[in-house]
Each structure stands twice: as C-alpha cells, then as structure tokens.
Amino acid sequence: MWHYILAILPALLSGVQVTLVLFLTTLLLALPLGILVSLGLTSRFRPLRASLKAYVWLMRGTPLLLQLIFVFYGLPIINIVFQRSDAAVVAFALNYAAYFAEIFRGGLQAVPQGQIESAQVLQLSYSQTIRKIVIPQVLKNVIPAIGNEVINLVKDSSLVYVIGIGDLLRAGNVATARDVTLIPLVLVAAIYLLLTGICTLGLRQLEKHYRAWH
C-alpha cells in the first residue's frame, strides 16, 4: 500500500499545486476588490451603490458552480473566451469579492461615528484616521467571518473540476477510477483537512494578535 501511495503522490501533489495557486490568486484579487466594493457600498453616490448592490446580490444569490460554468462554457457563445484557469480565477474572484465586500461593509459600519469624530477633534487627517483608527478596528471585526470564507474557499476550489481543471480532487478521482481503490480519495480528504487545518491555525494566531485589545 505504501508503494501505491508513493506512486500516486506526485499526481496528487501537482493537483495540490493547482488548488493552491487558485486559492492564493483568488484571495489576492478578491480581498482588495472586496474592500473597494465595500467602500462603494457605503458611498453616497447612489448609482454606484445601486450597481454594487446588484452585483453582490447576483453573486451571493446564484451558485458558484453556475457562475463557473457560465464564465467558461457560457461566455464563449458571445465571444468572450477565457483559458480554463483564467475562467476559474475570474469566477472565484468575482464571487468571493462579493462575500468579502458584505463582510467588510458590516465591519466598517460597526466602527462608531464617535471614533471618527474623536480623531477629527485631535486633528488627525482623513487618511491618518482611516489607517490608524478605522482599519485596525474593521480588521478586528471581520477576521472571524473572513476566516470562514477563506476555509470555504479551500473546499470550493474543488468546483473547478467541472470545467476540467486538474486540481487535487480531479487527481484523486482519476486515480480511483483507474485503479479501483479508495486510497486516492482518502488521501485527497486528508490533504484537504491538512490545508483547512493550516488555515484555521493561521487565523487563530491572527485572532490572538487582535485579542490583546478585546
């Protein structure tokens, strides 16, 4: 059995690599995009607010799987063609940015107006107030919710299976179908557990860091 595990491990590991690249690119794009959208959602400019609301509603109200299929199989019909991996990144980043935006918006609204006024009478500039007072408090507010989404993303990344990307799940499924054994799928489960476990630990450290000031 160890022999078999060693034999399929390279294929699984290259699947892990695909999964991790998708995970990291999605976070790298969706987090800043989510912050921007959340600022837009609290903006006083009505058309901007309304269109961003519609975007968030659409992204959260339809399945990610549908969005993925739409981007990769649907858009080519109207001549918008993405590479497989680009289609995955586009669909994931747009979807997750909407969830992040809602979380950041809540975090932003939870900072009392009095904090901003307090900074204002102390002569802090707008950008100093945002950097030193607002952002630390928003981050503290949102870490648990963002953490949940990050862990969901590890698992959701397996949806790219449907557009034929060779991620971790596909690597395991291919081996199981070929060799008629459960071992690859069990290994896949173990690797997902490891990845989500690492994320959980990292998030716990971050929460601990912020717990210093309650």
Partner 1 sequence: MLELQHINKRIGDRQILKDLSLTIPDHAITVIVGPSGAGKTTLLRCISGLSALDSGKLLLDGEPFDPHQRPADRRAIGVVFQDFQLFPNLTVLGNITLAPTLALKLRPAEAEQKAQTLLEKLNISNLRQLYPYALSGGQKQRVALARALAMKPRLICYDEPTSALDSGLRGRVAALLLSLKAEGITQIVVTHDQDFAKTIADHMINVVPIAG
Options 56-64, 112-120, 164-172, 178-186: segment touching partner 1 (CB under 8 A): 112-120
Residues whose CB falls within 8 Å of the CB of residue 8, separated by 6 or more in sequence, listed in order: 175, 179, 183, 184, 187
Are 169 and 158 in contact by the 8 Å Cβ rule? The answer is yes
Q: How far is the CB of 115 from partner 1 (least distance, A)?
A: 6
The reply on whether position 121 binds partner 1 by CB under 8 A is yes
The reply on whether position 43 binds partner 1 by CB under 8 A is no
The reply on whether position 132 binds partner 1 by CB under 8 A is yes
The reply on whether position 213 binds partner 1 by CB under 8 A is yes
Among 3, 123, 205, 208, the residue binding partner 1 under the rule CB under 8 A is 123
The reply on whether position 120 binds partner 1 by CB under 8 A is yes
Q: Which of residues 69-98 bind partner 1 (CB under 8 A)?
A: none
Q: Among the residues of 42-72, which ranges form H helices?
A: 46-61, 64-69
**Exposure on the CB side of residue 74, measured as CA atoms within 13 A:** 8
Q: How far is the CB of 205 from partner 1 (least distance, A)?
A: 18
Number of neighbours of residue 210 by Cβ within 10 angstroms: 15
Closest CA to 189 of 176, 180, 201: 176
Interatomic CA distance for residues 192 and 84, integer angstroms: 22
Are 68 and 162 in contact by the 8 Å Cβ rule? The answer is yes
Interface characters, 139-178, with partner 1 (x: CB under 8 A): -x--------------------------------------
Distances (CA, A) of 150 to 60, 75, 79, 120: 16, 27, 32, 35
CB of 108 or CB of 119, closer to partner 1: 119
Options 12-20, 38-46, 66-74, 118-126: segment touching partner 1 (CB under 8 A): 118-126
Binding site for partner 1 (CB under 8 A): 112, 114-115, 117-125, 128, 132-133, 136-137, 140, 212-214
